[in-house]
Structure 1
Amino acid sequence: MTVRGLGGHPTVAHARGSPTLTAGQGGDVNRENAHSVAADDRGATPLARPPDPRQPFDTPHRHHAARHARPRLTEGSVVRRRLTDLVDAGVRRLVTVVCAGPGWGKTELAASWAPTSTDPVAWLTVRPDDNDRTRFWAHVVAALDGLDAIAPGSTLARLEPSTGVTDGTLVRILDGLDELTKPVVLVLDDFHELRRRRVLDDLDDLLLYPPEGLRLLLLTRSEPALRLHRLRLAGDIAEIRAPDLAFREDEATLLFAHRELRVTCDDLAHVLERTEGWAAGLQLAAASLAGGRRGRPVDGLAGDDGVTDYLTREVLTDLPPNVRRFLMRTSVFDEVCADLATAVTGEPYSQRILEDLERANAFVQGLGSSPRWFRYHPLLRDVLRHELAVESPGAVPELHRQAARWYHGQNAVIESLRHAAAARDWIHLGRLAVMWLPVVVSADRAAFVAVLRQIPPNEMSTSVELLLSAMLVQYTAGDYADVPRRIAQARDLLGRPSGRGTLAVEVALLTIEAAITARRRGDMPALVDAATGTLARLAHARFAELPALLQYRAIALCHKGMGLLWSGHPGRADRYLWAALTASRGVGLVLVEINALGYLALLAVTRGSVSEAYEHAAHAVDLADRRGARGATQAVPAHLALALAELEHTNRPEAERAFQEGFDAHRGEPDVTHVLLSSLVRARLLVAGGDLDAARGELRRARSGAAATMVAPALDRWHRLTESEVDLLSGHAEAVVARYGRHTDSLLPSETVCLARAELAIGGLDLAEALAARARAAAPAGLVAVWSWAVTALVADAQGHGNRSADALANAVRIAQREGARRPLVSLGERRLTALLERQRWLFRENANFVADVLAESTTARPAPAVSPQTDLSDRELEVLRYLPTVLTAAEIAVELRVSVNTVKAHLRAIYRKLDVTRRREAVVRARELGLI
């Protein structure tokens, strides 16, 4: 039994060849007597109308017969196999919907697929008069009859001319469709012409209880007004839409080839970009080329009469005047949302209009699954812009001004600036640029500067805001020399009676002076003062007068943190840099975030925390890489800090790579602190390579090349510390003692431990141990602790305290392993340390692998001794020499060597003479310098 609901009216239950029961009636009635008394959706009278002798039910007009014929393919049509395959797969389901706007090739697709179909294809091109129920079903039956799918004597064949379609007649038609002699695909072209609810309800009834042999292929410009949700849920519908119908590159190439037209790859790509694969657009482009307009097949497409005429007739003509005006005024935007559209049109129902246009496939596309933003097809947008320019030429600048104000209210900086530039409202553009100057250190830097470059040169000096905008353009282009003059010019303008000293101008000028003037000179106290003044001014500002308040604050925090670091206040610098990092991350200033991370990494280096430095630097470099800012000057500190961390890991190739990236990034930047810092890193790389003379030369050049204006005490101390490292490895420990020995109370932990190493080298064991303990107390972790414990271990060993030496070295190894820092243990330059490390492998097995790595590197990393006096000690003399760092007496050494005490004393005299020393302690120090013990 089949049950059908007739167009939303009382259900008629029936079985083939049996009476029907109409709901609400108490008995059997004939299907022919069932009828509807409902009006259509517009409140008209029932569709059962008086007789019309001109159109009996089963005899449509002769000129309508063409509507049952499949359209012929035009010359040059491209049969696209991927699409016909989609239709082939789709018609296996109950309904296939091909839905797209005009000109997308829906009809051509169905016409090219039909000859390949394994099932007969009936075709009906729907017209507006098919909203009459009688006419529509008459044409459906006629289309099917043309396929010989209606058997003689069947229900459909026995239908007689009728004055109209009643519910009973429709039941007979639906029953007749069950009796089709073969499976049929019914194509309903221009399905969007069906708008009357009565006809659509009939089709809903058909789809609710479909005939087994009938499949529907609907070609429509708008979403079918049918209840398709059930079919979607059951997976019994296939849908092909504009993105599927869009021509691909190979298909477009074939289309032009069919017309014997040759286009370059660039032209073809441009055609596809402008048309977005729209079939009609491509065909019009081909026609333009074929007509002799070969010079501009794409650029002239938007103004082509064919495109304009097509879009006007097929898309715009039938639109209500208010909607057409809405489209014209909003066409000035590449993307539009309801709020923006309302702001420039005054239309309160903008969202509904945009959604209706999208549903109607009127070349309006929603962006996203629940779209708030929409875009128009590029060709339609160009046609609308042309109409707007013709009908309202003065409206375009005003629309851009209104858009600039709207985007400014949304804090959409770049779009606001672009519309101000499009309106050529340079004064407003300058004000916006100053308000949002921090964007220049965000991911939108390039777009921001690109808009500022549109300001005409003759407008640059008409206001302070435009002057500051010109200054930013010059600075980002690498023209640093003229910036001080521009700053002075801006100050002069502000000093005039007509000058406008707004908060935005004041803060922008302070920020530029700090970023360019103070940093360029390397005057860190001045940078701290400028940043402090900016922060104080911002503390009383309001968002209404300075929308970028938080962005300005993030920049000032970073400037102050950097200035404090190089001024020698690491504790305060740490707080400000962390605040800058958090603030910049919160407001999207990616370059400030990278910069703050880099300086935090350098701060960790100065404190000797290698693992922390590596973490911050690697994070900053990774962020710069993801945001396309790896070569930005703001990434220089991160690259150089990463190089220093890699050196402590004894990973010289990676250190050199990081240094080179940092050097390349700062090469064009006039920041003297970067220049000096790069020289220090290069010197440390040379030390790691064993070229101590080159390292010393690099440090001399850095000192002589430092700008006279630079005031950066922490960098100066770092420079001296690097010189001391070279002195120690060169065998000039006395130079380190001379440099630091008189100021031990004011030394930093890193300087204190450096002096301890120097005292150890010249034999001042007690002072070396005391200095190491002082450094360790001030910095109980990190590199300073590794160096200090290593010095303590060597002092204890020299004094014969084996257990104390082993424990001290174990502490050094433990901290070094945690930090991943092998350099202190590799480059200390003590042969005895190697022996002590060998013992560590057996005493402390948990560090065995790390110690093994250090020992493997120490055999090749130790620089050659700086002096080479006579060292031709005999084997027996070398044996005696190895006992000198111990506490054994001459007699005890004689017992150990199984010789007489006089023999040992004779060897000692020979050792002193050959090493040019007079005492046992001096012999130990000299032997260590020469690498003999």
Structure 2
Amino acid sequence: MFIETKMHPPHLRGATVERPRLIAMLEQATEGKLAIVSSPAGFGKSTLLAQWAAKAGEGGGRVAWLSLDAQDNDLARFLKYITGTLNRTDAAIAAHALSLIESSPVTPVESILAGLVNDLSRMSEPVYLVLDDAHLIVSSEIAVFLNALVTYAPPALHIVLATRGELPAELAAMRMKGQVVNLGDNELRFSLDETDHYLRQICGLDLSTAGIVALHHKTEGWPAGLQLVSLTLAHEPSRESFIADFSGSQRDVAGFLAHEVLARQPAQVQDFLLRTAILERFNLGLVQAVSPDLDAETTLALIERSNLFLIALDSTGHWFRYHHLFSDFLRGKLEAWPEARRADLHRKASAWLSANGYVSDAVGHALAAGDKDMAADLVEKCATPIIMLGHLPLVMEWLNRLPPELVAARPRLLLTRVWAHFQTGRSRDGVRVLKQAKQLVARLRRDGALDEKTVRALQAELRTLTAGVVSGADWPRMATKLADRWLADYPEGEPFAHGTLSNISAFAHFSLGELDAARLAALKGRDYHTIAHSIFGIIYADLILGLVELSAGNLRQAHDLLARAMQQARQGLGANSYSEAMSAIIKVELLYEWDDLNSAERLLHQHRRVIEECGLVVHEMACKLHLARLAQAHGRHDEAIRHLERAEQLGIEKRYRRLTASALNDRVRLLLSRGDVAAARMALQLRGISLADSEKAKTIHPLDEYAHIGVARVLIAEGQPKRAIAVLERIAERQRRDGRLRGLIQVRALVAIAAHAAGETLQALAATVDLIALAQPQRAVRSLVDEGPPLKAALDFARGRIPAWSRPSETADFVERIGAALNRAGAGRAQAPVVGLPSKKPLSGKEMEVASFLMRAYSNRQLAQSLAMAPDTVKWHLKNIFGKLGVSNRTEAVLKLKEIGLVEPPERVG
């Protein structure tokens, strides 16, 4: 929930001192990207900016105002407020930012930045973003964001930072990026005319000219000091004597006059001021909560009429704050109160804020009260419903504000942190915290601190999260065994955890190619999430169902499921949420398969940034695979290979076998299309996959199928098609048994290619007919077209020998369409030159070791020292490596090694 008054300038009272000279300075400064207004407390900085903002708005500019406080150092909270206030100037700016931030498991900084810059670049009128009290920002993450926003700001955006003094180190670098106006004490002090106008016209004091001049000199034109003087003089019987005795130095004014002002107030007003000093901002309901025994409404009205350093935050007079100087003074006085009494004020404030939806602020007051249990209760009460919506940044914000020892003492808070690790793909962190939670639940149960009902609920959740982190670590078989065993005896009354465990089981079964089991588990998961009203869980169940039907070759059904998931995400979480992006990225694969490249590319780039920034590894890798395939389809092979290399590295880092193998298969196919057989073979070798092992394996695991398909490709390219067919037939047998008909298309295409190359006419015809029979119902095009000229040759061979393909029919039309698409792809295919004459021989183990250190640009001497070799031995290995790579020097060797996927070894320690 937004605190709306943070996003409006302070309300200007009817009588204020107009400062045209300073307004002109601000107008000039704000023509650039950045203006910094720096002045000490009490110099009227916020009032001046409010006056300037009103004038800027009258001139056609749009002013987005954000009053910062210490709690805004949380990145997600800051981004929500900064996009929220910009959206209020124009609905086209950051229209979907809130849903994106709240639905993403990781705060999507880059996506928000890009969205803001793009939206603002379309604005014709100037947009002024004012960040008041910027000195309170100490977060380095926010500083990086603001620096980037200034760097990439389009012409329409002008940023104004208002700070009490020097900016924190994190923001100091921004001074180099814009025009800086330093309105310090010399500029902001009242002139004598302004002092005269303020005291006589605004404050209504009947003072002599000598008295005005004396006060101006004694306060040195300090606006806050003059305000304090005016409050005292309003009740001073001998004004001239007071002025004569008043020292007036800025250092003394605050303490002396604030004491005088406070001491002259009725006891009830003094008590009210001190009680409400704990509040950053307040309305009548909140002050009544902390002062239930006082007439809050009357007292607040009296303070407002007395102009007692009260600043209205809206035009309706509902929300207020005290002047910073006065607030600091009051809090200093409040320190004299007993700690228990101060804690009681914070406790009451926390209770009211929590009851009225300001939970994050309520947590802060609960912690200030020293009531850690109350703070923890607040987080526990709200965490699960928010997780069910997928709003993880907010939950993490709360957890990070709680003391670590408090989180470690509460199983519910530990489990909340595991949920966050699980949904953000940090399995190792999840395992660590999960172990803590299990041990804590066991100990509390042993000590009798938990009743059996609570224990059962916690243990059920522990089981769900255990299966989740196991699945996230890419151990799908273990995940299915755990999940299916626990699902058979899951306690009632926990539909969210139950549904999540079903979804985990579904995805693990899908990863193993067990589509029927995956489909059943996902449907059950969807039912439980519907009972729990978990939007994120429902969307994820539909996503898994979409993946299952995609793998089964039911592409139209998969499309409908993914479209339903995207629609639910938009309706429940807002447009362009993380949940929508998850489903959209999978839908890209469908559009690509149907050869709708423009729609696929448009959808991919609409959601790419969110997925790359926040997505789970499965979605992030899928995104990279799509980028590579689209680049290849447009003939940009080098770009495609770079994307595939990154996908493989990510898969290796995250230990995600299935998509790593898929990226490797695509890269082998691309290298072979360039005629670089040696590089393709070596790419497999570097991943520990040998041709001999593929042939010896009795069974090929579904997670490794694509790597062995890559082996078959190399065998075909090296003129050994029969050996390739033997590998492919073992894969096809299992795919057909599992009903994974879409993957079977690629395998049967390669069998057709291999059989045609081997001169096995009947086998080539049978595979081609089977291929078309599989692809036509799915309308699958790219799985065929991406195989390029070798498949075109096999298809042309079959077309001349299958009479049914020459007669008018849907099948004949489909074959004609594939042939035409292959012709277009062949005409546009860019054949990259291959350096040298590549060898078919793989690098030996020792040559691999030398090659890996070669990539660090080691000299021959360094290589000899690092590998404990004689210099002549190093030279001999390098000569062999150059020969096998088909290169003539070190630079070409490093480029070739990068292309085939070799990475630098880690630095040795010691």
| Larger radius of gyration between Structure 1 and Structure 2 | 1
Q: Which structure has more helix as a fraction of its residues?
A: 2
